[in-house]
Structure 1
Amino acid sequence: MSTPKVAIVVSTYPPYAGGMGNVAVEQAQSLAARGYDVTVYTPAGGAGKAVESAGGVKVVRCLSVLRYGNAAFAPTLRQQTKDSDIVFLHYPFIGGAEGYAKNGVLPHQQLVVYYHMDTVGHGWKKFLFARYHRRYLAPLLAHAKLILVSTRDYAEQSLLAPHLKTIDKRLRELPLAVDTERFFPAERPKLLTKEYGFESDTPVALFVGGLDSAHYFKGVPMLLTAWRSVLCALPNAKLLLIGEGDKRKSFERLAKKLGIEDAVGFVGGVSNDELPNYYRLANVVVLPSIDASEAFGLVLLEAMASGRATVASDLAGVRRVVRDGETGQLVEAEDSKALGETLLHLLTRPAVAERYGERGRVVVESEYSKKVIGDKLAELLTLVL
């Protein structure tokens, strides 16, 4: 049998910092390491060469006629993937999924759809997203030989729910993976501690996520509001936010308006090499997302792998990553009071946070490591070959 050719089709890819692109990187490199011939197809943006190679994976940045946020109309995608055996489409991909929804794939190909999340939005975006899914989701699923989700829990609460009876035999669970060799427990880094003027026992909470309009659902304004209440009881606590985007300035203004700017650090983007040390700088990692646009939370796995406690919104999918009272704590989405109280609880009880972190490390090693998830992905693809 010849080497299977896999075309991974995704709306974003590094150097853009986003969860979907990071997942695609991990899956592409994992399949390449297992002998697959992998090419990633993603819309051309302001960075990256038209064709490049990274980690044993060819990356083709396709023509995109129109781009808005993470949506990009890429009319040549279906034609460019014609030589592959498997088209592995990461959904949602507004501007890229329509051709596969209308026409499926070629007779010699199989379509695999990885359903990441609902696109929810607000105002006119909410209306357009709903209309888009009504038009394209059902036919796309009908063409798919295999449909993957990060958790069954999320599938049952998402836009996939009405389709579960018809897709159930083709639906499989494939969680995200974390590099447990890159993210591991260690003492608070001395250089970063000194750089930020922290003491060895300064209580630190960490947020990692996009600060752009596309990631409105990350809940940063609510986090900042909650942080003000934390500071009332724990004035020496610090909150660090890693990420960049067009909303950063407005978040900085909000912190100033709330009178907490001295206790909040907007770090900006950090390199892959630097990121693990930021997790080790923190006592608690927080993911305060507000709606179903958040389906899993890769940052939670990175925190757990680093031996850090987690606090996250009680959302479908996310609640399967954080084991409430075991690896972290869940709070009701959009409840800033509960979020503040939970952060304060863990920051003032370091032994509890440490116990959560230790258990989190055990969980990711057994269930979410690159090897465990990579082996599972390769096994699933045998179903369509």
Structure 2
Amino acid sequence: MEQKMKHAQHDKQVTMHQKHLLVIAPYFYPKIGGMENCAYTIARRFHDVLGYRVTVITSNHLAKEYLQEELDGIIVHRLAPSFKISNTPIGFSWRRTIKKLCNEIRPDIVNIHTPVPFMADIAAPICAMYAPVVLSYHAGSMRKGTLPEDAIILPYEKIFLPMLFRTVSRIAPVSEYFSHTLGIAVKEKTAVIRPGIDTARFTNTPLPDGDPVVMFVGRIEHSSAWKGIDELLHAFVSVHTRMPRARLRIVGGGDAVEHYTALAHTLGIGDVTVFTGPQTGDALIDAYRTSTVVVLPSTSDAEQSSVVLVEAMASGRPVIGTRIGGTPFIIDNEKNGLLVPPKDVLALADTIVRVLSEKILATQLGTQARIDAEAVDWEKQIRAYAHLFDTLISS
């Protein structure tokens, strides 16, 4: 009888075991960005909906000090950076701190977000000693085509990145493009899971009346020059010459806002270009609703799975992107949007004018875009992550 009771107590403890997810990302909410939003949503959904205990390890992007806080029931450890190289925070004490936290937390599953180097590279081998590790990879190559950044990035991608891929249990890239480039050697451990959106929050509204609005949404930082704002501003000079009522709206924040504002005035389009600053929540949804077309003129294959494009599509807006990185896996040319060659200012201008001039085309593209956006609703994407995590935990 006593032995049966012990077995029953053990079974009850096993049944009541609350799975513990450890999320590691170089940056985390409230910092705004595609990777940051994805990591935050995974943490929130697994905590709020699936009942996991969730702990986050990230850098403190606001100060050079360690901070522990509770965010909506999630414990967040913000590690103090020693310094930054470009957009990469580096901490001399991080390895020791991450090992200490893993030993205390004893996670059942670890989800690391990158491609920002260093944090993922030191965390993966440590975490792999405690639990299966899933690497969410948010970019293609990080090469920018400029020195001295590429002098560091090239050896990193040739030597250290393959080591990271070998260390983790599974890789969840955000785009199929990964398997054709950096992930060729690790296809057998790769499962594409795109970042999702809450499609119910976005409404397929008719194109607005009045002056046509061309909109860009994204980081406006010198380190993110590959987002293509320079090319968009130069293209809009031609657009405005042919369509004087057209307006350009640039949504986002960063250390390059003043630079691009000055460039707009130098190009003679300062009076018809608005820099709104960062927009989130209902303000961002309204920005999509009042736009005529949303443009993402990226110049680097670092652009993998733009949430901005999918949000615009969910709003029923025609989208224009470049044939680079993961964008062609989102935009089906001439069906749910239009593609142009990267850095081709004239082609970009012509395509923007085409969409603004042909309302029937714009409406058709927007209608199909909304249908396609529903395929990456967050509910579906979280189910994919949950299946992957459960498979690894049970094995």
TM-score (norm 1): 0.90
64-73 vs 281-290, greater mean Cα deviation: 64-73
Change (3 A) 1:241 1:144: same
Answering whether residue 284 of structure 2 is matched by residue 275 of structure 1, we say yes
Runs of 4+ in 1 over 4 A off after TM superposition: none
Answering whether residue 100 of structure 2 is matched by residue 79 of structure 1, we say yes
256, 261, 267: which one aligns with 2:265: 256
Flag structure 2 segments of 5+ consecutive residues without an equivalent. 1-13
Say whether the 8 Å CA contact 2:25–2:113 is kept in structure 1. Answer: yes
Say whether the 8 Å CA contact 2:128–2:167 is kept in structure 1. Answer: no
294, 307, 316: which one aligns with 2:303: 294
1:88 deviation in Å?
Answer: 1.0
Give the Cα separation in 2 of the matches to 1:380 and 1:130.
31
Give the Cα separation in 2 of the matches to 1:49 and 1:205.
42
Answering whether residue 64 of structure 2 is matched by residue 42 of structure 1, we say no
Change (3 A) 1:156 1:73: same
Partner residue, 2:120: 97
Partner residue, 2:159: 135
Matches within 5 A, 1:11-26: 11-26=26-41
Identity %: 27
Output the amino acid matched with 2:117.
I
30-39 vs 271-280, greater mean Cα deviation: 30-39
1:188 deviation in Å?
Answer: 7.0
Partner residue, 2:380: 372
Say whether the 8 Å CA contact 2:102–2:130 is kept in structure 1. Answer: no
1:268 deviation in Å?
Answer: 1.0
Partner residue, 1:236: 245
Matches within 5 A, 1:103-142: 103-117=125-139, 118-121=141-144, 122-142=146-166
Say whether the 8 Å CA contact 1:203–1:238 is kept in structure 2. Answer: yes
Give the Cα separation in 1 of the matches to 2:230 and 2:285.
25
Give the Cα separation in 2 of the matches to 1:79 and 1:66.
22
Structural RMSD (CA): 1.9
1:374 deviation in Å?
Answer: 1.2
125, 146, 150: which one aligns with 2:170: 146
Change (3 A) 1:93 1:328: same
String of CA shifts for 1:162-181, please: whole Å, max 9, x gaps.
xx2xx222111101101112
Change (3 A) 1:241 1:250: same
Give the Cα separation in 2 of the matches to 1:274 and 1:69.
30
The secondary structure found in structure 1 opposite 2:316 is coil
Output the amino acid matched with 1:113.
L
Partner residue, 2:80: 63
Output the amino acid matched with 1:77.
I
1:324 deviation in Å?
Answer: 0.9
The secondary structure found in structure 2 opposite 1:273 is helix
Output the amino acid matched with 1:141.
F
Give the Cα separation in 2 of the matches to 1:109 and 1:299.
33
1:187 deviation in Å?
Answer: 5.6
Output the amino acid matched with 2:310.
L
Say whether the 8 Å CA contact 2:134–2:169 is kept in structure 1. Answer: yes
Matches within 5 A, 1:183-262: 183-186=202-205, 200-262=209-271
Say whether the 8 Å CA contact 2:179–2:187 is kept in structure 1. Answer: no
String of CA shifts for 1:336-371, please: whole Å, max 9, x gaps.
111110011001112211111111111122x11111
Output the amino acid matched with 1:328.
G
Partner residue, 1:172: 191
String of CA shifts for 1:71-128, please: whole Å, max 9, x gaps.
1123123432342122211121323123245x34353311111111121122110110
Output the amino acid matched with 2:224.
H
Give the Cα separation in 1 of the matches to 2:36 and 2:236.
30
Change (3 A) 1:105 1:350: same
Greater helix share, 1 or 2? 2
Count matched residues: 368
Partner residue, 1:360: 369
The secondary structure found in structure 2 opposite 1:11 is coil
Change (3 A) 1:320 1:309: same
56, 69, 77: which one aligns with 1:52: 69
Give the Cα separation in 2 of the matches to 1:15 and 1:216.
22
232-241 vs 351-360, greater mean Cα deviation: 351-360
